[in-house]
A and B are shown apart, each in its own frame.
Chain A
Amino acid sequence: EAQVTQNPRYLITVTGKKLTVTCSQNMNHEYMSWYRQDPGLGLRQIYYSMNVEVTDKGDVPEGYKVSRKEKRNFPLILESPSPNQTSLYFCASSPTDRGRTDTQYFGPGTRLTVL
């Protein structure tokens, strides 16, 4: 089954404790992206990757890191989480055509709470 998986689905942590949210897709998509969803703000892009070893900042990259060492994986790293990073996080992937992304396929979401 074609899908995007994220782990963990739920995470409660404390300020300053490094964490990683994993994301994996099995559709051989070039493009992958991370979003955070907050009430009234819709989805805001954190980072995206057009292909292996190619990543770029989205609209709200502060406090986050990503890496793209393999095509299928795109982990999101919070080196020193803070309470304002409490949010619902989505990973997504998309095929590309001459650099243009198309339909985004989303993972199930990760609910992160930073105390």
Chain B
Amino acid sequence: AQTVTQSQPEMSVQEAETVTLSCTYDTSESNYYLFWYKQPPSRQMILVIRQEAYKQQNATENRFSVNFQKAAKSFSLKISDSQLGDTAMYFCAFTTDNYGQNFVFGPGTRLSVLP
């Protein structure tokens, strides 16, 4: 079975500091996409960042970057210069290139940014 593990149920960080959220996954496929989604208190699911597994270069989006270690099946999210608006639940997810394959989510990490 394909799974996603997020080992940190809750984390906190001071405003303007840097925080890293962990994610590991398990799949036998070689080609897949990885994602981080953010869910603020409004409950809306918002895409933060996307990584294609065949690309060695780590994806970045402004203050958000990933550390993708394909051999270790690890996909951590780094948030730099944390802002109060980053307070949210963060979900790691992936999808493979199998026809109709499910999109698999982790259980989430609740991040609180403290003033």
- Which residues on A are within 8 Å of B, measured CB to CB? 33, 35, 40-45, 48, 50, 56, 58-59, 88, 90, 92, 94, 98-106, 108-109
- Per the bound structure, the CA–CA distance linking A101 and B108 in Å amounts to 21
Q: Are A99 and B99 in contact (CB under 8 A)?
A: yes
- Per the bound structure, the CA–CA distance linking A95 and B70 in Å amounts to 24
On chain B, the residues within 8 Å of A50 by CB distance are 99-100
- On chain B, the number of residues with a Cβ less than 8 Å from chain A's Cβ atoms is 24
Q: How far is the CB of A86 from chain B (nearest CB, A)?
A: 15
Query: Which secondary structure dominates chain B's binding surface?
Result: loop
- Per the bound structure, the CA–CA distance linking A99 and B29 in Å amounts to 15
Q: Are B100 and A108 in contact (CB under 8 A)?
A: no
Q: Are B106 and A42 in contact (CB under 8 A)?
A: yes
- Which residues on B are within 8 Å of A, measured CB to CB? 4, 9, 33, 35, 43-45, 47, 50, 91, 93, 95-103, 105-108
Name the residue of chain A whose CB is nearest to the CB of B50. A103
Q: How far is the CB of B73 from chain A (nearest CB, A)?
A: 18
